[in-house]
């Protein structure tokens, strides 16, 4: 027997599904008109999106500050989609051109090429940590490639979700780009439908759910996930620079960044100097009381706060450890005396806690990294080119930086994505266009010549085929 509550939930789900199905039908009908294939149309839509973001920059910054307590400076990172749009507007006509492909002699006379085609209707599911930029940036690629799209912003960042929804509704006809807000019920209803591509940004656990749902419809996916991104600091590193860049990358957005350095692997010989440098960088960035700093953010909600606080007992706080649930504040924290099997080392931290593990042998440190799922990012601080190459060659990660953290995400020329548990596929710049395109191979043959080497009866043509195959 269905209870009233269950019935209400079922009715609500049915209502959402009906609206989604109707929107999908309209988008498929619009896509079938061929209008999205026109480059001028795509350019016009990208230009509209750029203007809409620019006009709402104040609302965007305010929403992110409300959801995450982020400093104004860091809140402006949510406008990163503007760079993606500028790149697409500049390069779209080049990206969309068919690319000639060479032919072997047995295909003469003819020509071949590869032409990018839009996939159809894409679903984009955004995360809460960068709730506006990571919902809009994939949309840039979907539009540039000529697709229709449905965007689902994260309900965990409600103010940002509302801004995304209003921006899309004010800018696009829903038969081209639509938006659905809501909780997991809405996401489940969307994932139950047939899309031509699903782009998801979030955690590995939910990524598996998305992939499982997509598999039922044989829908291709791009999964931008995360993982425990390690940071090596070797004996020859520039420690002053390393300390500042590590501290910035880790405590940006209060550690709620998918490519934040998750833990440090530090040569024991230089550990005291590095730790002093990290303490100094934290004090330089946030003062003696980060809780009162205008430049330090907050944890997204109490659930995440409680999870992070439970990890503080995994080591000895060299710096930080203070927390305030009412303010969702956790101080920038460096943990020492951390065991490899402690709770803080089990999963991605996604918060302002930085465990430090010392090593005496670099190969042993590499083995620790390789014993875990492949991370989204890997960081190496070393002045020695041989050591840099050694670490890159003996590890695997979605992306990597040498003597830097985080900043590779801001290079449109570098495809951004994970490997293994940290993700499937990539985007940014041309990679975004490629992600939302099917690259169709086309062979065109002339009819003025038609040699009979391939036709039956074969008779004595074995020598001919062997020659074509390079066998004689």
Q: Is 72 noted as a catalytic residue in this protein?
A: no
Please tell me whether the peptide bond between 457 and the residue prior to it is cis, using omega within 30 degrees of 0. Answer: yes
Q: How far is CA 17 from CA 188, 331, 416, in A?
A: 9, 43, 32
First-to-last alpha carbon distance for the chain, in angstroms, is 76
Output the six-digit token pair for 431: 């990679």
| C-beta separation of 376 from 399 below 8 A | yes
Output the six-digit token pair for 203: 């955690």
Q: 60: Cβ–Cβ under 8 A, 6 or more apart, which residues?
A: 53, 75, 78, 79, 132, 160, 163
| C-beta separation of 13 from 190 below 8 A | no
Output the six-digit token pair for 222: 């791009």
- Rounded-to-integer distance, Cα 65 and Cα 74, Å: 9
- Rounded-to-integer distance, Cα 428 and Cα 439, Å: 17
Q: 181: Cβ–Cβ under 8 A, 6 or more apart, which residues?
A: 152, 153, 155, 161, 162, 165
Residue in 74, 78, 84, 224 annotated catalytic: 224
Residue in 148, 193, 231, 258 annotated catalytic: 258
* Residue 413 C-alpha from the chain's centroid: 15
- Rounded-to-integer distance, Cα 268 and Cα 337, Å: 12
Q: Is 258 noted as a catalytic residue in this protein?
A: yes
Write out the catalytic residue numbers: 224, 258
């Amino acid at each position: 027997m269905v209870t009233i509550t269950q019935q209400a939930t079922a009715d609500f789900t049915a209502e959402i599904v009906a609206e989604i199905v109707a929107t999908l039908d309209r988008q498929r009908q619009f896509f079938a008109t061929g209008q999205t294939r026109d480059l001028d149309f795509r350019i016009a839509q990208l230009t509209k999106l750029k203007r809409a973001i620019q006009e709402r920059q104040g609302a965007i910054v305010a929403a992110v500050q409300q959801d995450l307590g982020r400093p104004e400076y860091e809140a402006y990172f949510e406008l990163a989609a503007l760079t993606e749009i500028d790149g697409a507007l500049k390069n779209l006509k080049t990206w969309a051109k068919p690319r000639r492909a060479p032919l072997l002699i047995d295909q003469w006379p003819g020509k071949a090429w590869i032409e990018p085609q839009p996939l159809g209707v894409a679903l984009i599911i955004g995360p809460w940590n960068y709730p506006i930029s990571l919902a809009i940036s994939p949309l840039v690629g979907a539009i540039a490639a000529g697709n229709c799209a449905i965007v689902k912003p994260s309900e965990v960042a409600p103010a940002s979700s509302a801004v995304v929804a209003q921006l899309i509704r004010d800018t696009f006809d829903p038969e081209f780009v639509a938006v659905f807000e809501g909780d997991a019920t809405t996401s489940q209803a969307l994932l139950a439908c047939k899309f031509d591509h699903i782009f998801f940004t979030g955690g590995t656990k939910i990524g598996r759910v998305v992939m499982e749902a997509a598999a039922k419809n044989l829908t291709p996916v791009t999964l931008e996930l995360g993982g425990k991104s390690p940071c090596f600091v070797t004996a020859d590193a520039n420690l002053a620079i390393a300390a500042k860049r590590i501290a910035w990358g880790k405590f940006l957005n209060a550690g709620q960044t998918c490519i934040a350095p998750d833990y440090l692997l530090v040569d024991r010989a230089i550990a005291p100097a590095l730790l002093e440098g990290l303490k100094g960088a934290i004090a330089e960035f946030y003062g003696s009381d980060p809780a009162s700093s205008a430049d330090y953010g907050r944890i997204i909600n109490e659930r995440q706060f409680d999870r992070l606080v439970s990890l503080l007992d995994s080591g000895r706080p060299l710096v930080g450890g203070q927390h305030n649930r009412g303010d969702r504040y956790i101080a920038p924290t460096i943990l020492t005396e951390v065991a490899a099997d402690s709770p803080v080392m089990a999963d991605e931290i996604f918060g302002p806690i930085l465990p430090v593990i010392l090593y005496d042998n670099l190969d042993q440190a590499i083995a620790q990294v390789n014993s875990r799922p492949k991370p989204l990012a890997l960081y190496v601080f070393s002045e020695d080119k041989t050591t840099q190459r050694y670490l890159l060659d003996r590890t695997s990660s979605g992306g990597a930086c040498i003597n830097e953290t985080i900043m590779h995400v801001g290079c449109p020329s570098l495809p951004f994505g994970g490997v293994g548990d940290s993700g499937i596929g990539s985007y940014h710049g041309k990679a975004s266009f490629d992600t939302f395109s099917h690259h169709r191979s086309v062979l065109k043959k002339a009819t003025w010549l038609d040699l009979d080497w391939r036709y039956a009866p074969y008779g004595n043509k074995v020598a001919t085929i062997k020659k074509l195959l390079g066998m004689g």
